[in-house]
Structure 1
Amino acid sequence: MYLSLLRFTFKVYERLLAMIFAIEEIQWDQKLLPNITLGYVIYDSCTTAAGVLEGTMRLLTGQRKAIPNYHCNTFSSAVAVIGETFSSTSIPMARLLGLYKFPQISYGATVTILSDKTQFPSFLRTFPSGLYQSIGIAHLVLYFGWAWVGLLSDSSDYGLQGSLTVKDELVKAGACIAFSETIPAVYSEMKILSISETIRKSSANVIVIYSIDTDVYPVMEMIARNNVTGKVWVASNDWAQSYLFAKNEFLRTLQGTFGIVVRRGNIPGFNEFIYRLNPYINPDDVFLKIFWELVFDCKLQIVDNINKNLTKESKICKGDEKLEGMKMDFFKLADLRTTYNVYNALYAVAHALHDMISCRHGEGPFMNNTCAVLQNFEPWQLLHYIRNTHFMNKNGEEVFFDVHGDPPALFGIVNWQVTPENTFWYPEVGRFESSADNQKLAVDVPAILWNKGHGKIPQSVCSESCSAGYRKAPQTGQPVCCFSCVMCFQGEISNQTDSIACMKCPKDGWPNERQDKCIKKVIEFLSYEEPLGITLTTVSIFLVMATSVILTIFLKSHHTPVVKANNQELSYMLLLSLMLCFLCSLIFIGHPRHVTCMFRQVAFGIIFTLSISCVLAKTIVVVIAFNANKPNSNLRKYSGPRLPKILVMLCTMFQVIICISWLIVSPPFQDENTTSITGRIIIECNEGLPVAFWCMLFYMGLLATVSLIVAFLSRNLPDSFNEAKFITFSMLVFISVWMSFIPAYLSTQGKHMVVVEIFAIVSSGAGLLLCIFLPKCYIILLRPHMNTKEYLMGKGVFKNEKY
């Protein structure tokens, strides 16, 4: 007993005094338990399973000697057990008491398995289950964004189960465990050194330690000796405020440590009760004697087994020493936590007894609505009332037990800070409340003092965060928290840090340069408002007007030989078709629509075919006209006006058939091209059936080639009947333009494809207009003397005479 008290004197005695104070307070409360006297028996378990079981058996037996299944009513009137402190000793005690349904209320055991009412039917506690403590630790770690965490636990059920729950909660939330170590139950210097080295070398800056203070002390001593600093330690309740670490050697190492502790409470009148203590007033209190001598550093002159031998050097207690006014650092009267649980446990039993004696006959909770009899009740009957007790204590807090025998899970979060006196104090910097379906964490971050005195929240990650515009790429063989940052692919963005995957922009959007947001794509088409569109429109209209002027000149001079030569009707038709060619180029400009897409290529193909057919017909007319004048020529029968018309109609009709088939099988349509040019939506016409487009161009090229060959072969015919030279040159221009068009068209995108095609239409049409009709206009307007029948018939002679 004495050795045990020397080890635990202050914190154990503080709880013992709280129990005695609560019993005395209850005795004075005439409303709670009137005419009932409460007593108590104290057993020292020495924190061993054997000590716990022996004390429990003595309590149940009612005698000094433990006899199983024996109960002496004369000596034992115990109704409930308050204790034990530790989970390791509470479990065997709860198993034994559970056999008899004997109420047990622990004020310190936290292991989760004790909530199992199948195994421990009579166990209750005023200290929250370790499950909620572990959840609170995990929430605290995640609150600061620490995703790379080390775990250290002792080898008891308390440490192993608690750390496992913390691990599960962290992994579930996406954090990773850098390492997980267990402190051996039997001291091993080699294992302690290994754990210390693991912590020192680890890149994890946050270490969660789920252990009792005596087990973790050797590890922290080794770490302090190795001068390991900069780590953030998160302590479970059992060492969150331990006096063992209040030494200079731990100040640098443990500064900034977080501890999750049971909620703090106030016991009204408890301070005054302690101040009234005096060993001379209570001579039978052996605990008070030891406490008094330790506090005042003197020896009591009370003859007993403890200090019957006084030496001459012994300082004798005078008996008038006063506790009031002393700086009692050995008691944490302003920070009552586990002691507060002892106080509530006593009141839970008292209120259960009050409810039991208040039972009315016929309204009881037991068989046939009976009530328990105070003078002769069974332990399970009182257990029923304790389970269902629900009252407000003197602090105005609710005290009750849930279906698992657990109290409300209320925790405080303390921060280890160094005082000017080079010791630790533990200000509360947060609170955590938890239930089966709700967790609430509140932290006062400015009040926190971090390790090394930094005011900034330390980081603990395996890999630095990926900024927006990047995604996380896992590293082979590493936890998910260890990753590389990879830029999103083209067309994708990530708009938050640590994105697992990039997302595609909508069809009308495109990533900005940083690839962290989508911006609206620029819509592109050849419009009438832009300079290029204005230029092409102006040129096309100018050529239409120029063609109209030429047609007007020809109409006014229709009776002249120059106009009549080579079939004036074909000339009119060619001029009209060229005018339509220039006008059809305007369909390619502006916002493409479904209708314009369907007809612009068709209109261009048919009209241009008509133009080339007219040129071909004019060339053949020249050949036939020259050869028909020869004697016995078979071509004379084709020299009439019908052949050119039939030829133009047949050549054009074949192109019409190609275009109509194109429109029936797969017509062109408006399309939005979002892939060809980065960051742009090209509004264009999809040709539908590209083969039909190229067939149309091939047919036009075939007619132009035939016209070129025929014109070239007839270039040496007499000038009076012949414009073959001009046709040859015009066909060379035409074919050159369209041969250049093909590679240029295939190598461009967007509106520039349209520009290339318009340029080919305009330039080739202008080539036909200028090469064929400009020389004739020159004669009609500037050389009227050459526009006579006589000149044409004797052109060479007349010319030589004049010049």
Structure 2
Amino acid sequence: MKFAVEEINANPDLLPNITLGIKLFDNCGAMRRAVEGTFWMLSGGSKSIPNYQWQEKTHLAGIIGDSGSTRSILMAQILGLYRYPQVSFFSTSPILSNRNQFPSFFRTIPSDEFQSRGLAQLVTHFGWSWIGLLATDNDYGQFGIQVIKQELLISGACVAFVENILSEHPNKNAPQIVKTIRESTARVIVVVSAAFHFMSVLEELLKQNVSGKLWVASESWSTSAVLSNKRFQQILVGTIGFAMHSGKILGFSEYLTSFHPSKYPDGDFAKFIWEEIFLCKRFVNINNGTTQCTGGETLESSLTIADFRLPFNVYTCVYTFAWALKSLLQCKPGAGPFHHGECAKISSFRPWQLLHYVKNINFQADDKTQIFFNDKGDPPAIYDIVNWQLGATGNLEQIIVGIYNSSAPSGTTLILDSTSIKWNTGDLQVPYSKCSPSCPSGFQKVTIPGKPSCCYECAHCPQGKISNQTDAVECQQCSWDMWPNQEQGRCLPRAPEFLSYKDPMGVSLAAIALFSSTIPVYILMVFFCHRTTPIVRANNWSLSCLLLLCLSFCFLCALAFIGYPQPVMCLLRQVAFGMVFALCISCVLAKTITVAIAFKATKPGSMLQKWSGIKVSYSAMGICVLIQLCICVLWLSHSPPFPEYDTQTLSRVIIVTCNEGLSGVFFWIMLGYLGLLAAISFIFAFLVRHLPDSFNEAKFITFSMLAFLSVWVSFVPAYLSAHGKNTVAMEVFAILCSSWAVVICIFVPKCFIILFRPNMNSREHLMKRDKEQK
């Protein structure tokens, strides 16, 4: 304080022609003395008289202090009545932030509320979720631990235990505390306590040989010199915590080392400081270990200036009043902050007038720290984050490894240099403190009844879901076009599946269909070249040609089922299949009817002679095809097929298929009608298979329809049990097989005779065969 006042008075630019002075009052740590001192300062004289001020030349600007929160609360209640500015350098109680109770109180040290929230943020930053809490039973410890507990629970962490250091108890409850620490699985313990209270717990830890815990320190003991000695090295090494921000005070080190009582002949305070530092007394010889002060002692050899944390706060308090007075001094009449733009006079200002300027101070300290107060009288909460590491002397040293600044932009309030932190394990790996081991990707956490949420079991994600992070609370469903990998740790794209021309099975079926479609054309050419021979003329030449063309189209319609299911193809492929096959089976039925009528009509007096013409066959065929056409028209008008993405049947692929509409009812009606036509043809052919006619086709038609029906009856269960492209492949296979059944059973025997047994394709052989049959 003395250094700051002298520095301000020596600065002609800050308060020109104004001299600051200080009056000191020692309350000796007593509540009564704090109240007495407050009235003494307000009275301005040697007597403490409430509501009375002694007339003196000096003018009281404000009060700096107290260091303790409890005493500051008493002082602030009195000073707030008079609106005297009060700035404390070490009072951290959050109660003092209440502006209704303490309207004129300010401080240059942050409130404990900021520290508690910062400690909770520090814990969650390192991923510790299973935490022990230890605090003294006073306001400082209890308020701090409650805020930390609340913040930890909000962040998802859990509290393993909460223990209190009983400050009035002889052993401070240390044995019970150490027992809890030893039995707990929590490896990280947050301690909100003063150093002299926490020391009892450390002594008990040494006694019971408990180590391996990582301590998170509040600012009240994070830089304690008493706890930094070698005795507690094994327990406290690796400790990390908050400490008051160590600001820079230019020239203060030199000022301290040059300090000597001879420079202050009229100052008893300087002599008192000298005696306290060197443990000596002036002009006397005492036999209790105290020596006589010689004046030759040097501060440079006896005092190590390494920590300006508390002095910086005091220094800032003095400059707060200096900058407030400067703002008051620079006020321009007519533009002032008071009634009608008035300004306060430096020689006669009122306390509430200076209070206005203290509220609005904003200046920069030597270390570029911006100093200002919020609406609660609190400064920016800036803390150094210190790590306890072994020094060269074997003692523990507090190394600054980061900074916490509550006024920094979101996401940058906590800045740490992780590479400079040394943990109690002796390496750079962050210690582990969880109730349960982390769940890897592909698993989710399942809480254990009766235990905190941080104690859980790991369970595999359900089928179709994934978790791509550790400790997932819930597994996520993959999107419709994705599927989980085998480990269920990520979603993979689902490939579309359909019977493609790039697929080996699709290419094979397409090649077979194209090749097969040429066979009926080739047979038709053979028939055309031998159209005058008995075997061609005896089997209804026109119906045979029509049937061969239909069979060629039957093979080709299989190509409509191969390739990506476009909307137009979905509409036409089943209709084309149904109509072509209906025409094909109708031709076979017409040929069967023709054979039966032709034989019956040759008998004398038969009534079927007038029905033996070609028109009857074509009429029957037209009626059969017309019925199928009506089924297809109803299908397309009421529930037409459409492309559909099936994401449920198979997990790894998206089946692109044609939805037949109305659950495929019309498809099965159409297929059933084809089966009905084939069954009728089979029955007619079976009944006339022994008719004594040359080149009778009935036997061949019987076998062809039997094979046709066998293929499609086998198709039904295979179709219903298949999935994806195999369903389409089954239908293509059935189309090809049933078409080949008709070709082989009806036309291959005739072609064999025409091409390889021409002697059987003659009138003489025909007459000879007729006689043998008779």
Normalised to the residue count of structure 1, the TM-score between the two structures is 0.88
Indicate whether 1:779 and 2:766 are aligned. Answer: no
Q: 1:116 aligns with which of 98, 111, 129?
A: 98
Distance change >3 Å, CA 384–CA 761, structure 1 → 2: closer
2:31 aligns with: 49
2:318 aligns with: 346
Counterparts of residues 305-704 of structure 1 (less than 5 Å): 311=286, 316-317=291-292, 319-328=294-303, 333-356=305-328, 365-372=337-344, 376-393=348-365, 397-435=369-407, 438=410, 439-689=412-662, 690-704=664-678
Q: Which structure 2 segments of 5+ residues have no match? A: none
Is the CA contact (8 Å cut-off) linking 1:356 and 1:382 kept in structure 2?
yes
Q: 1:698 offset after TM fit, Å?
A: 1.0
Distance change >3 Å, CA 670–CA 270, structure 1 → 2: closer
* Counterpart Cα distance in 1 of 2:19 and 2:275: 35
Q: 2:242 aligns with which of 227, 247, 260?
A: 260
Q: 1:437 offset after TM fit, Å?
A: 6.3
Aligned residue identity for 2:513: S
Is the CA contact (8 Å cut-off) linking 1:433 and 1:440 kept in structure 2?
yes
Distance change >3 Å, CA 664–CA 384, structure 1 → 2: closer
Distance change >3 Å, CA 139–CA 722, structure 1 → 2: same
Distance change >3 Å, CA 781–CA 115, structure 1 → 2: same
Distance change >3 Å, CA 244–CA 555, structure 1 → 2: same
Q: 1:650 offset after TM fit, Å?
A: 1.3
Is the CA contact (8 Å cut-off) linking 1:574 and 1:614 kept in structure 2?
yes
Indicate whether 1:300 and 2:274 are aligned. Answer: no
* Counterpart Cα distance in 2 of 1:629 and 1:360: 137
* Counterpart Cα distance in 2 of 1:507 and 1:314: 86
Q: Could you list the per-position Cα deviations for residues 147-203 of structure 1 after superposition, in whole angstroms to 9, with x for gaps in the alignment?
A: 333332323333333333333433343333333333334326484433333333333
Indicate whether 1:90 and 2:65 are aligned. Answer: no
Distance change >3 Å, CA 61–CA 560, structure 1 → 2: same
* Counterpart Cα distance in 1 of 2:134 and 2:753: 108
Aligned residue identity for 2:691: L
* Counterpart Cα distance in 2 of 1:95 and 1:21: 29
Q: Could you list the per-position Cα deviations for residues 526-565 of structure 1 after superposition, in whole angstroms to 9, with x for gaps in the alignment?
A: 2334432333233223332221222122223223322222
* Counterpart Cα distance in 2 of 1:779 and 1:346: 125
Indicate whether 1:742 and 2:725 are aligned. Answer: no
Aligned residue identity for 1:56: T
Q: 2:706 aligns with which of 696, 710, 732?
A: 732
Q: 1:262 offset after TM fit, Å?
A: 1.8
Q: Could you list the per-position Cα deviations for residues 745-773 of structure 1 after superposition, in whole angstroms to 9, with x for gaps in the alignment?
A: 11112222222212211111111111112
Q: 1:480 offset after TM fit, Å?
A: 3.9
Aligned residue identity for 1:629: T
Q: 1:255 offset after TM fit, Å?
A: 0.9
Is the CA contact (8 Å cut-off) linking 1:88 and 1:156 kept in structure 2?
no
Percent pairwise identity: 44
SS at match of 2:736: helix
* Counterpart Cα distance in 2 of 1:30 and 1:664: 99
Q: 1:227 offset after TM fit, Å?
A: 2.9
* Counterpart Cα distance in 2 of 1:83 and 1:489: 63
Aligned residue identity for 2:380: P
Is the CA contact (8 Å cut-off) linking 1:461 and 1:481 kept in structure 2?
yes
Aligned residue identity for 1:196: V
* Counterpart Cα distance in 2 of 1:723 and 1:97: 125
Q: 1:483 offset after TM fit, Å?
A: 3.6
Is the CA contact (8 Å cut-off) linking 2:136 and 2:166 kept in structure 1?
yes
SS at match of 2:292: coil
Q: Could you list the per-position Cα deviations for residues 774-794 of structure 1 after superposition, in whole angstroms to 9, with x for gaps in the alignment?
A: 222233233333333443344
1:4 aligns with: none
The aligned length equals 771
Q: Could you list the per-position Cα deviations for residues 638-673 of structure 1 after superposition, in whole angstroms to 9, with x for gaps in the alignment?
A: 223222222111112111111121111112222233
Q: 1:322 offset after TM fit, Å?
A: 1.7
Q: Could you list the per-position Cα deviations for residues 655-702 of structure 1 after superposition, in whole angstroms to 9, with x for gaps in the alignment?
A: 111112111111222223333233222332222241111111111111
Distance change >3 Å, CA 351–CA 628, structure 1 → 2: closer
1:5 aligns with: none
Q: 1:123 offset after TM fit, Å?
A: 0.7
Is the CA contact (8 Å cut-off) linking 1:671 and 1:684 kept in structure 2?
yes
* Counterpart Cα distance in 1 of 2:288 and 2:177: 47
* Counterpart Cα distance in 1 of 2:252 and 2:754: 129
CA RMSD of aligned residues (A): 3.1
Aligned residue identity for 1:669: F
Aligned residue identity for 1:541: L
* Counterpart Cα distance in 2 of 1:768 and 1:612: 9
SS at match of 2:185: coil
Is the CA contact (8 Å cut-off) linking 2:514 and 2:556 kept in structure 1?
yes
Distance change >3 Å, CA 62–CA 531, structure 1 → 2: closer
Distance change >3 Å, CA 324–CA 92, structure 1 → 2: closer
Indicate whether 1:765 and 2:739 are aligned. Answer: yes
* Counterpart Cα distance in 1 of 2:625 and 2:326: 114
Range with bigger deviation, 521-530 or 409-418:
521-530
Is the CA contact (8 Å cut-off) linking 1:301 and 1:316 kept in structure 2?
no
Q: Could you list the per-position Cα deviations for residues 727-754 of structure 1 after superposition, in whole angstroms to 9, with x for gaps in the alignment?
A: 2211221111111111111111222222
Q: 1:109 offset after TM fit, Å?
A: 1.0
SS at match of 1:464: coil
Is the CA contact (8 Å cut-off) linking 1:83 and 1:105 kept in structure 2?
yes
Range with bigger deviation, 454-463 or 470-479:
470-479
Normalised to the residue count of structure 2, the TM-score between the two structures is 0.91
Q: 1:84 offset after TM fit, Å?
A: 1.2
Q: Could you list the per-position Cα deviations for residues 481-540 of structure 1 after superposition, in whole angstroms to 9, with x for gaps in the alignment?
A: 344433334443333333444434344333333333333322322233443233323322
Aligned residue identity for 2:26: Y
Aligned residue identity for 1:426: Q
Q: 1:218 aligns with which of 195, 200, 206?
A: 200
* Counterpart Cα distance in 1 of 2:762 and 2:325: 141
Is the CA contact (8 Å cut-off) linking 2:333 and 2:341 kept in structure 1?
yes
Indicate whether 1:184 and 2:166 are aligned. Answer: yes
Indicate whether 1:240 and 2:240 are aligned. Answer: no
Is the CA contact (8 Å cut-off) linking 1:474 and 1:484 kept in structure 2?
yes
Range with bigger deviation, 274-283 or 178-187:
274-283
* Counterpart Cα distance in 2 of 1:799 and 1:80: 141
Q: Could you list the per-position Cα deviations for residues 439-483 of structure 1 after superposition, in whole angstroms to 9, with x for gaps in the alignment?
A: 532212222121132221112233333333334444444444344
SS at match of 1:451: coil
Q: 1:149 aligns with which of 114, 117, 131?
A: 131
Indicate whether 1:136 and 2:118 are aligned. Answer: yes
SS at match of 2:101: coil
* Counterpart Cα distance in 2 of 1:586 and 1:278: 108
